[in-house]
Amino acid sequence: MSKQIRGLGRGLDAILGDSDNLNEPQRTPVGYINKEVAGTSAHQNAGDVLRIPVDQIEPNPYQPRMAFDNESLEELADSIRTFGLIQPVTVRKKSDGRYQIISGERRYKACRLVGMDMIPAYIREANDQGMLEMAIVENIQRQDLDPIEVAMSYQRLIDECSLTQEEMADRVGKKRTSITNYLRLLKLPAKVQHDIKVGLVSVGHAKVLLGVEDPKTQELLCNLVINNGISVRQLEEKVRLLDKQKPAKQKASTELPDEYYRVLEHMGKFFENSISLKRSDSGKGTMTIRFSSDEEIRKFLQALEDKNI
C-alpha cells in the first residue's frame, strides 16, 4: 500500500508522481570501515578520519553544555542507526593515551546509545596549529574523498584553524564560490548527506535540493532521484513546478551581496554559525543571532573589546 503524503501541498503528488516512487530506498549506514583504527600505525594523518574504540574516549570536563535533551538525543541515535554517523567527532589525545572530546559530545552520547564500539573521529593536534592546518589541506587534495568529507574538511579549517573562506581558497587552490557550495551541503538533512556520501545522489542533484526550503520535501525529492534515476535537469523541473505552487509572498529573496556572506562567516565563528540575514531589494533587513550559552556571548564581547570595536 502506498504511503499517503501529508502536509506538503495538494499538488505534490501530481508533480512528484506516484507516491510509491517516494518510498524509502534501502540504505546502509556509513561506518567508516575503510578508516584506520587510531594508534595502529606510527604515522597517521591528523587531517583524516580515524576510528577510536568507544571505551578510549571520554567527555570533556569543561563542556559548557551540561544538559542534553533526552528526546532529541534519541532522535539523533535513531538517525545514526539508519545512516551512520555522518559527521565525526573531534578529540584530542591525552598523555595517558586516551582521547578527550573537543566537539561533538552529543554525537558521542548518541553513538553510545546505539551501542557502537568504534566512533569515527578527527584527532586534533591542539598544540601545533600550523601542522594541523597543513594536514587538513593535504587531506582535501586526496582524490578518494567524497563530497561530504570535503565539506567537513572545509568546516574544520573554519572551526579549528580560524581560516576565512578567502584564506581557504588560497590554501587549497579553489574558487571561493566552490568552497561555499561544498559548505552548503552540510545544511542538508542527514538522510540526504548520507546519500551524497555513498554516491546515491550527485552533487548536482544536491545543489538543486538546496533550493528547496522544507527538509521533508528535500528528503522526498532525494528518494525520487534514487528510485527513479531522474537527472539533474528533471529534478530542476520538479522543483520549478513546486515553486509555482508557493504564494507570491514566499518567493525566494534575491541573492545577498558578497559582504553579507562575509558578515555571516565572521559572526558565525562566535555563535556556531547560528546566524542569519534577511535583506530586501531596497537594502533594509534584519540579522538574527541564536546562541546556546552565556559563554558564546562572553567570547564575542571579548573579541570586540580586544579589537576596540
Give the catalytic positions in this structure: 105
Which cell goes with 233?
535537469
State the residue for C-alpha cell 535513531: 78
Q: What distance in Å separates the CA atoms of residue 268 and residue 184, rounded to the nearest whole number?
A: 14
Closest CA to 197 of 215, 182, 216: 182
> 260 with 280: CB under 8 angstroms?
no
Grid cell 538533512 in the structure block, residue: 189
Instruction: Look at the alpha carbons of 255, 274, 263, 278 in this order and tell me if their dihedral is positive or negative.
Output: positive
19 with 2: CB under 8 angstroms?
yes
Contact 30, 85 (CB under 8 A): yes
In sequence order, the 6+-apart residues with CB closer than 8 A to the CB of 248 are: none
CA-based nearest residue to 58, from 89, 101, 87: 101
The four Cα atoms 211, 216, 218, 223 give a dihedral, to 10 degrees, of -170
Report whether 194 contacts 86 (CB < 8 A): yes
Q: Residue 281 CA to chain centroid, in angstroms? A: 30
Alpha-helical segments (H) within the chain: 12-16, 70-83, 105-114, 129-140, 147-159, 165-172, 176-184, 190-197, 203-209, 215-228, 232-245, 258-268, 294-306
Could you say which DSSP state residue 37 is in?
B
